Structure 1
């Protein structure tokens, strides 16, 4: 019964989107049938049941064979541990905190059917180990899909008498965006120490990261300028409205970021108006870094490739202390300061990072630990975090040594899923941030809550 309940749980968990699974997996009847056969074999052929071996075969092979994301595999094994354990054989064991869900006592088949029919028709998030806010996430996702479909069905016609035509709306918007674009980043305007080289002719690791990020932003800035000029010409009839310009026209009309921009841009789920503001903030951040050579606090969400920046931080530490970089990992310390403006000087080692958000939970500043979300609050801001390189082994994602800390995954966007890279990680995944958790909870509790850190919100 527990195995069947597990199968139903991981299936229904998909409706919560990224809070449930990073990737939507198609678990099917063959998985449960194969696992039932495995369970039967263990019961018939083994004198004593090895729950660890049973969990490995079911979680890592039967179901885990479909799971391509390591963080999803961690979640799968965490859920399975609820059902494949010695305590699950006791009649008093419950599958959820409410006590409504449990394996009925051994008896007649009709009694089991009666119990199942008596279960709530609409199961709450608690049966999945999730916060009540997860229902909000599900409803918001459904509403977004509906509104997007309605928006795509809107005809391209003018409004009532005196209203602007779509051509006028898009032309004015394109003109406004173009006129307010920030100046293109120019390496020649950098401070004297920004790209300074040492005796061997090498720039600092962070200077290399800055130069690479500037190249990406310059390319994006040029794309914005050229496409906006071409679109305005096409609307006026001076050039042919190509397929790309037509798609861009429709995106601007619907307050969406054109594919022509996002194809050379950074991962972002914001609507067009918020995207433009975010773009200005990113360019401003890199302009200040370029002028001052070093920042007291770094805005991690502003990077095209935050993984490259963090590697640069490790390399800086490795060169300073002559330590092999492959022996270094990050330690983390959450500060009391909440805004970058409160940081007056950079740390001696490592970097201060701001701009992160907690998704599916919150940071309890008083207790200095992760905590459950407030009712109705899906995301909350994270204080400044000190990323400090340390010479220590990386924590095992699946078997953490410490039960008072949670390896919190950090993602670029709330979708969490990305393209599977050669490292076996999603390109949306940055790294795991080790954070203290509330007393009397375990890492498995937070894994099932779907708690993660984000570089940006969707609004």
Structure 2
């Protein structure tokens, strides 16, 4: 009904929840509230044509509440619609302008110069490899991240320098240079950069600031080849590799088979990663996750927090620091745990499964009845 078919278990669970909550015998009772301002008619007095006419004339304007959704769902939809509209307008314009392109070229050159001067330096892979003498799983992840970041930074510097030479007349303007120039004008990440980059839907300005933060984390990580006390998981090219490293490290330390290891996520009472002062006793601390479709309530003294309904106008509340540990499948907590996917961006593409405490009266209740059936986590807030 809303743009697709059931393609995975997450779709199936959400669909089953809607069916169990909405499709019930009470629907045929007179004056049953089908939604805000929409009552069920008396079935004994209605035939097919009368039902059709009633729906056409009495159906209220669509709203999130009609579908059991939070009002924030409409805010997100309208925001995305507005961004798509303006993006389409820019694409239709195609960067053309009446008269000469002097002002346009000056703006592109100014931005080009700024990006060139602020592009981080490459990581010296030889030094990093020498420091990683033990070759632990997390050190290997660090090396892989540095290698991929160097490739991206090299492409950024090369393309910006080529465009500068083209705009100054030292080189002929190519299609690739023209595409890069248009991307700089429209605040879009150039396609040649995306080819070597991580998944993201941010505009160029926010994307470049994010790039600098990612390189800063790698700089801290490579200084002594010690994993940061709390790692921003959304700053990695391949977040799953670090999570796999946690399982590998635990399996080696405890002499357990890797195939039997699973991840368990425990949301701590530490709201911001700046408050973390010591490394996790087991596993690792991570941050950089944002909720969609729910919010998080911190627990009291000595208590774990839990998922709650969204707050008005808070579309993507930040999740507290999470302690990710590796345990055997039989020891993983299941009672009172809500299982949801984690997405690299707000587009489809689950990275790993996250579990969190759910605030409910009966821990053994049917999971399909949990209201938060559409909750997911985002690796970043783009």
Query: Could you tell me the TM-score, scaled by structure 2's length?
Result: 0.88
> Do structure 1's residue 140 and structure 2's residue 79 form an aligned pair?
yes
Q: Matched residue of 1:388: which SS? A: strand
Q: What is aligned with 1:296?
A: 229
Cα displacement (A) at 1:69: 3.0
Q: What is aligned with 1:215?
A: 147
1:347-382 CA-partner distances (Å, limit 9, x unpaired): 122110111111122111257211112112211111
Q: What is aligned with 2:337?
A: 405
> Do structure 1's residue 167 and structure 2's residue 105 form an aligned pair?
yes
Given that residues 205 and 315 in structure 1 are in contact (C-alpha distance below 8 angstroms), is that contact kept between their aligned partners in structure 2? yes
> Do structure 1's residue 431 and structure 2's residue 323 form an aligned pair?
no
1:98-120 CA-partner distances (Å, limit 9, x unpaired): 58365853443155345424543
- The whole-number CA distance in structure 2 between the counterparts of 1:165 and 1:380 is 40
Q: What is aligned with 1:341?
A: 274
1:274-330 CA-partner distances (Å, limit 9, x unpaired): 111100000110111111322211110010010111111110101110111111112
Given that residues 130 and 448 in structure 1 are in contact (C-alpha distance below 8 angstroms), is that contact kept between their aligned partners in structure 2? no
Deviates more, 1:171-180 or 1:432-441: 432-441
> Do structure 1's residue 264 and structure 2's residue 196 form an aligned pair?
yes
Deviates more, 1:435-444 or 1:221-230: 435-444
> Do structure 1's residue 156 and structure 2's residue 106 form an aligned pair?
no
> Do structure 1's residue 355 and structure 2's residue 294 form an aligned pair?
no
Q: What is aligned with 1:75?
A: 14
1:12-54 CA-partner distances (Å, limit 9, x unpaired): xx3xxxxxxxxx31xxxxxxxxxxxxxxxxxxxxxxxxxxxxx
Q: What is aligned with 2:172?
A: 240
Q: Matched residue of 1:331: which SS? A: strand
Q: What is aligned with 1:6?
A: none
Q: What is aligned with 1:456?
A: 380
Q: Matched residue of 2:285: which SS? A: strand
- The whole-number CA distance in structure 1 between the counterparts of 2:295 and 2:196 is 33
- The whole-number CA distance in structure 2 between the counterparts of 1:298 and 1:358 is 18
Q: Decide whether aligned partners of structure 1 residues 227 and 94 sit closer, same or farther in structure 2, where only a CA change above 3 A counts.
A: farther
Moved over 6 A (4+): none
RMSD of aligned alpha carbons = 2.8
Given that residues 358 and 452 in structure 1 are in contact (C-alpha distance below 8 angstroms), is that contact kept between their aligned partners in structure 2? yes
Cα displacement (A) at 1:191: 9.0
- The whole-number CA distance in structure 2 between the counterparts of 1:164 and 1:103 is 67
Given that residues 14 and 373 in structure 2 are in contact (C-alpha distance below 8 angstroms), is that contact kept between their aligned partners in structure 1? no
1:404-456 CA-partner distances (Å, limit 9, x unpaired): 432121111112x2xxxxxxxxxx31112111123359754666663211111
- The whole-number CA distance in structure 2 between the counterparts of 1:376 and 1:391 is 40
Q: What is aligned with 2:29?
A: 91
Given that residues 159 and 165 in structure 1 are in contact (C-alpha distance below 8 angstroms), is that contact kept between their aligned partners in structure 2? no
Q: What is aligned with 1:108?
A: 46
> Do structure 1's residue 321 and structure 2's residue 321 form an aligned pair?
no
Q: Decide whether aligned partners of structure 1 residues 130 and 446 sit closer, same or farther in structure 2, where only a CA change above 3 A counts.
A: farther
Query: Could you tell me the TM-score, scaled by structure 1's length?
Result: 0.74
- The whole-number CA distance in structure 2 between the counterparts of 1:234 and 1:446 is 58
- The whole-number CA distance in structure 2 between the counterparts of 1:277 and 1:290 is 20
Given that residues 78 and 448 in structure 1 are in contact (C-alpha distance below 8 angstroms), is that contact kept between their aligned partners in structure 2? no
Deviates more, 1:436-445 or 1:69-78: 436-445
Cα displacement (A) at 1:97: 6.6
- The whole-number CA distance in structure 2 between the counterparts of 1:257 and 1:446 is 39
- The whole-number CA distance in structure 1 between the counterparts of 2:123 and 2:80 is 37
Q: Decide whether aligned partners of structure 1 residues 119 and 282 sit closer, same or farther in structure 2, where only a CA change above 3 A counts.
A: same
Q: Matched residue of 2:161: which SS? A: helix
Given that residues 413 and 455 in structure 1 are in contact (C-alpha distance below 8 angstroms), is that contact kept between their aligned partners in structure 2? yes
- Structure 2 unaligned residues grouped into runs of 5+: none
- Structure 1 unaligned residues grouped into runs of 5+: 1-10, 15-23, 26-65, 198-202, 418-427
Q: Decide whether aligned partners of structure 1 residues 383 and 94 sit closer, same or farther in structure 2, where only a CA change above 3 A counts.
A: farther
- The whole-number CA distance in structure 2 between the counterparts of 1:112 and 1:153 is 44
- The whole-number CA distance in structure 2 between the counterparts of 1:82 and 1:209 is 44
- The whole-number CA distance in structure 2 between the counterparts of 1:189 and 1:342 is 31
Q: How many residues were matched structurally?
A: 372
Q: 1:286 aligns with which of 218, 223, 227?
A: 218
